[in-house]
Amino acid sequence: MFRRVLLVLLLCTACAAAPAGGPATPAAAPITLGFSAWPGWFPWQVAQEQGLFEKNGVTVELKYFDSYTDSLNALATGTIDANSQTLNDTLASVAGGAQQSIVLVNDNSTGNDQIIAAPGIKTLADLKGRTVAAEQGTVDHYLLLLALEKAGLSEADVKFTPMLTDAAAAAFVAGQVDAVGAFAPFTSTALEREGSTAIATSADFPGAIPDHLVVTRDLLSRDEKAVQALVNTWFDTIEWIGANRAKAVEIMAKRGGVTPAEYETYDKGTTIFTLDQNRTAFTGALDQQAKRISDFLVSTELVDAAPPLEGLFISKFVEAVQP
């Protein structure tokens, strides 16, 4: 169970969907939609189990990735058509030549990404010379770099150990590293270490970690109606969750491998975006955040050159949703 990696099977030829806001006849060839372990993406599991893709006239093969990185690679190579992933990871993929567009804001991380430290490490400054694990090149690596920068440090001041997120959390609990960058639900694992505390979270960097539905440019050129159906399904799903909270939490907790009670603790740390918030974000806030992240990726040499932003944000799908 990992957060954020995407690829889409290029299986859909002419998935017929209705004009914005209306259902259509599902096509035989499915759209392959990837997602991984993150509270802002588990609603896709609800959509599948409640038949909401079909309601919106799109046939979807929902593919869950245990490794977020694998999902990113799948989208980048065109193995899947769409994926839920962060803005920062999307920019890194685009910088590497991937042809991708963002069509929806699922959520903003508002605390569910965390830097968790062992007993005795009380501040970010205390990380100097310590061993810190995170999944290299992904959002919690980015959060670590932001946090270190805020404390006047850099990655060179710590002993960075790249690991997959589940392995990093387990290594931290076992006392093999001094701190870990992780996202929910793996934060729950990391905090099982007695005396451990979060010394930095995504709540400290508002807007730094937006999460999105990202599609290949190939899918956009082949079947915009299918893309619209995916976006319509998302908002139908959020509405269904609001009206059926207990059942929805049960579905999402099961997919995340946690109890419903544990899942409820993630609620504050992930802010699901409404339709109005989506429309506002596409009017300029996302462009601004993308430029900031691009500059950061270049300055930290996570990418060789800034990614091209033309065609990255496509607002017409959220604009076309009928409330």
pLDDT, residue 268, reads 86
Q: Are 38 and 4 in contact (CB under 8 A)?
A: yes
Mean pLDDT by 10 residues, the chain (323 residues): 36 37 56 96 98 98 95 97 96 96 97 97 98 91 94 96 96 98 95 98 94 98 97 98 98 95 91 96 93 88 92 98 91
Distance separating alpha carbons of residues 241 and 248, to the nearest angstrom: 6
Distance separating alpha carbons of residues 110 and 121, to the nearest angstrom: 23
Distance separating alpha carbons of residues 264 and 169, to the nearest angstrom: 20
Distance separating alpha carbons of residues 173 and 177, to the nearest angstrom: 8
pLDDT, residue 6, reads 32
In DSSP terms, 272 is beta-bridged to 107
Distance separating alpha carbons of residues 160 and 188, to the nearest angstrom: 21
- Which domains are delineated in the chain? 31-108+208-320 (3.40.190.10), 113-204 (3.40.190.10)
Q: How many CA atoms lie within 13 A of 280 on its CB side?
A: 5
- Please give the full DSSP string across 57-82, using - where no structure is assigned: T--EEEEEESSHHHHHHHHHTTEESE
